[in-house]
Chains A and B, each alone.
Chain A
Amino acid sequence: KNEVEQSPQNLTAQEEEFITINCSYSVGISALHWLQQHPGGGIVSLFMLSSGKKKHGRLIATINIQEKHSSLHITASHPRDSAVYICAVRSRTGNQFYFGTGTSLTVIP
Chain B
Amino acid sequence: GAVVSQHPSRVICKSGTSVKIECRSLDFQATTMFWYRQFPKQSLMLMATSNEGSKATYEQGVEKDKFLINHASLTLSTLTVTSAHPEDSSFYICSVGGAYNEQFFGPGTRLTVL
List residues of A whose CB falls within 8 A of some B CB: 30-31, 33, 35, 41-45, 48, 50, 86, 88, 90, 95-97, 99-102
Q: Considering the complex, give the chain B residue whose CB is closest to the CB of A45.
A: B103
Query: Which B residues are closer than 8 A to A by beta carbons?
Result: 1, 32, 34, 38, 42-46, 49, 57, 91, 93, 95, 97, 100-105, 107-108, 110
CB-CB nearest in chain A for B101: A31
Bound-state CA distance A100–B49 (Å) is 19
Chain A residue at minimum C-beta to C-beta distance from B104:
A45
Binding site secondary structure of chain B? strand
Q: Give the CA-CA distance A90 to B98 in the complex, in Å.
A: 13
Q: Which residues of B contact A90 (CB under 8 A)?
A: 101
Given A86-B44, A96-B46 in contact, is the A43-B91 Cβ separation under 8 Å? no
Determine the distance from Cα of A41 to Cα of B38 in the docked complex, in whole angstroms. 9
Cα(A95)–Cα(B42), bound, Å: 21
**Given contacts A95-B32, A100-B43, A101-B43, A41 and B103 within 8 Å (CB-CB):** no
Asked whether B102 lies within 8 Å of A48 as measured between CB atoms, the reply is: yes
- The distance from the CB of B24 to the nearest CB of chain A, in whole angstroms, is 15
Query: What are 15 inter-chain pairs, A to B, with CB distance below 8 A?
Result: A33-B103, A35-B105, A41-B110, A42-B105, A43-B108, A45-B105, A48-B100, A50-B101, A86-B44, A88-B103, A95-B32, A95-B49, A95-B57, A96-B46, A99-B46
Question: Considering only CB atoms, which chain B residue lies closest to A96 in the complex?
Answer: B46
| B106 CB, nearest partner CB in chain A, Å | 8
Residue pair A30, B110 in contact (C-beta under 8 Å)? no
